[in-house]
Amino acid sequence: MNAGYLADLALVLSAVLFAIGVGGVLVRRNAIIVFMCVELMLNAVNLSLVTFSRLHGIDGQIIVFFVISVAAAEAAVGLALILAIFRHYETVDLEAFRRLRW
Amino acid sequence: MTLDYASQSHYLIALLPEGIVTLGAFAVLLVDVFSRGRDSGPGGPWLERISVLSLLGAVAASLWLGFAVEAEPGLVAVDGFRLSGNLILLGGSLLAVLYAVDYGHREGLHIGEFYALLLLATAGMMVLVGAQDLVLVFLGLELMSIAVYVLTGFNRRDPRSAEAGLKYFLVGAFASAFVLYGIALLYGATGSTNLSEVMGVVTARTAEGSVLLAGGVLLLLIGFAYKIAAVPFHMWTPDAYEGAPTSVTGYMAVGVKAAAFVALLRVFSVQLAPAADFWSGVVWWLAMLTMIVPNLVALVQNNVKRMLAYSSVAHAGYLLVGVAAGTAFGRAASLFYLAAYTLMTLGAFAVVYAVAGKGDRRMTLADFRGLGWRRPALGFALLVFLLSLAGFPPTGGFVGKLFLLRAAIDADQVSLAVTLVLTSLISYYYYFRVVWKMYFEEGAEQAIASPGRAFRFSTAVCTGGVLLLGLLPGPALRAFERAGSEVATSEAIEVPAAATGAPTVGAEAAGSGP
């Protein structure tokens, strides 16, 4: 098993994970699960970046650290917003938030 | 002065405006924390003074960077394009701070964090505008977006605000993931995240990895399309704009869109111009749909704030025409239109904010009946903004549309030009319906509270600016034309199709694409 084959495998896995994340965001109706799917997408990208950095040098791995820290900031804000809306509606079901017309 | 990025400290100079605004944000937070609990009120006038001062400082620093400093190609661009983008953004932020002052007084909200978030969002926008590296594009985008998510959900007492914040957050984070995946694929295809180096590799196009390249360009474009709210990625816009506190809505519509557009112009219309066959067809369709769909939906809106939200989506379509043109004049026209759009949209949302009153309640068409007679100044301001949004002389919106038309026709994008004119005609109906209500129908006698000094000043500035851009467009256009043609590209790498040559490729591909 050579390195190129492994890299291809990792890229395919990353694409599949990203697609699962996209599917989850589009299909699921629970705000927290939708948010988890977004995190899954970000981590799928991290996998790609690490794989590419095997070909192109260290840059990709450095970007991963930026992504992790940004994702952490996003998680803090996102969970706070979910908490804020839970106080008003007592649910995190996206179908229930209908005060604004889609 | 010439910046040499071999020494790290020169990055501090290149990022001086962003640094000033960030320090301003931290200063606001500190002053806010330490003055809490005193009788004199939270922070008093100091918070807004610090905000305004740091924004003015950033304006000065941007001007100094733009005129007195040259730089080697590096992570941050130091060019006229960034200067113009910064000035538009900082102008919008200054006006937004002034509106926020009024908002805090009216709602009795404690808004120390509001200023800090506004400044941080502005810093993110400026990073985005100056980014010459895809990682910096991502970081700027996130710094801007995360701050604006919080601003959207800022009014915790209002369920609409929380709902808008959550929806905006989920869609925005989703879009960021697309941008990031696009960046990862571009990095995989070219081995670099620096835009100049990416451009060099793309120009020399090695056949292998062109799948990665195409995928990366498309994902990046989709991510940006979410951020600028282009159809069909606009579904979040009306909800987020309607639910957010009105003083935030104006800022969202103006700042986020302007920053994302300037970045879009830099990344696609300049640096990725050699890869135009991958994206120009998509941009053509985005522009087409974004002009047609929201203009039709806006016809049936009874809520003026929601109508303006759709109108701002439609304006993203007009601006995309400038991107699709792909020429230096297209970039200049887009910048001019962004300047006019900033003033007229911020102003229009501000008038809606004043009419809506405490708690953002009165926003239907009926609430605007007789406004022109009851509050002549407010009515006249809204009249000017609506005329400009519709594209009537003598306003900045009219001149801007004219320039966009010329850019489209110069680039042989006649179908886009025709659509622009036709959709503008459709939009007359919903803009003038408001004007009709204002002047030709009797209003119910509900009192509109007199807005404060800061509000009156910034609305006057918006009105004056829109009229000035309409009556004397020459100086602004010349400045933007220079900015549009002097976008930093790398001279270190031999690029035959730099800034001027490449756009014709884009124009041809776009013409044949659809």
Nearest to B175 by CA among B101, B121, B234: B234
d(CA B311, CA B293): 10
Cα–Cα distance for residue pair B148/B405, rounded to 1 Å: 32
Closest chain A C-alpha to B101 CA, distance in angstroms: 24
What three-state secondary structure class fits B131? strand
Q: What is the pLDDT of residue B106?
A: 83
Which tens digit of pLDDT belongs to each residue from B77-121?
888 899 999 999 999 999 999 998 888 888 877 778 899 999 999
d(CA A57, CA A50): 10
CA gap B490, B496 in Å, rounded? 11
How would residue B38 be classed by pLDDT, with cut points 50, 70 and 90?
Answer: low
B163–A97 CB contact, under 8 Å: yes
pLDDT at B491 (0 to 100): 43
Whether B315 has a pLDDT exceeding 90, the answer reads yes
Domain assignment of residue A101, yes or no? no
The Cα–Cα gap between B317 and B511 comes to 17
Residue B358 pLDDT: 82
Pull the structure tokens for residue B465. Answer: 């600016």
Give chain A's length. 102
**A35 within domain boundaries:** yes
**Type of residue numbered B13:** I
- pLDDT at site B488: 63
Does residue A102 lie within any of the structural domains?
A: no
User: pLDDT: is B446 or B245 the higher one?
Assistant: B245
Q: A6 pLDDT band (50/70/90 cuts)? A: confident
Handedness of CA B318, B261, B155, B347 (dihedral sign): negative
Helices A3-27 and A31-56 sit at what angle, rounded to 10 degrees? 160
The pTM assigned to this predicted structure is 0.91
Q: What is the mean pLDDT of chain B?
A: 87
Tokens of B6: 């071999």
The average pLDDT across B144-165 equals 92
Report the pLDDT averaged over residues A21-43.
95
Instruction: Report yes or no: B181 and B138 within 8 Å, Cβ to Cβ.
Output: no
Q: For residue B15, give the 3-state DSSP assignment.
A: coil
Type of residue at B337: Y
ipTM of the complex in this document: 0.95
How distant is the alpha carbon of residue B150 from its chain centre? 18
Residues from B in contact with A at Cβ < 8 Å: 135, 138-139, 142, 146, 149-150, 153, 156, 159-160, 162-167, 169-170, 173-174, 176-177, 180-181, 183-185, 187-188, 191-193, 235, 238-239, 242-243
Q: Closest by alpha carbon to B375, among B347, B354, B345, B353?
A: B354
Backbone angles phi, psi at B301, to 5 degrees: -85, 135
The whole domain housing A10 covers: 3-96
Mutate to test the interface with A, among B174, B190, B194 (most CBs of A within 10 A): B174
Give the CATH number of the domain where residue A9 resides: 1.10.287.3510
Distance CA A19, CA B435 (A): 47
- Asked if B43 contacts B111 with a C-beta cutoff of 8 angstroms, the reply is no
> Is residue A73, in this structure, part of any structural domain at all?
yes
The answer, yes or no, to whether residue B507 has pLDDT greater than 60, is no
Residue B204 makes CB contacts below 8 A (sequence gap 6+) with none
User: What is the domain count for chain A?
Assistant: 1
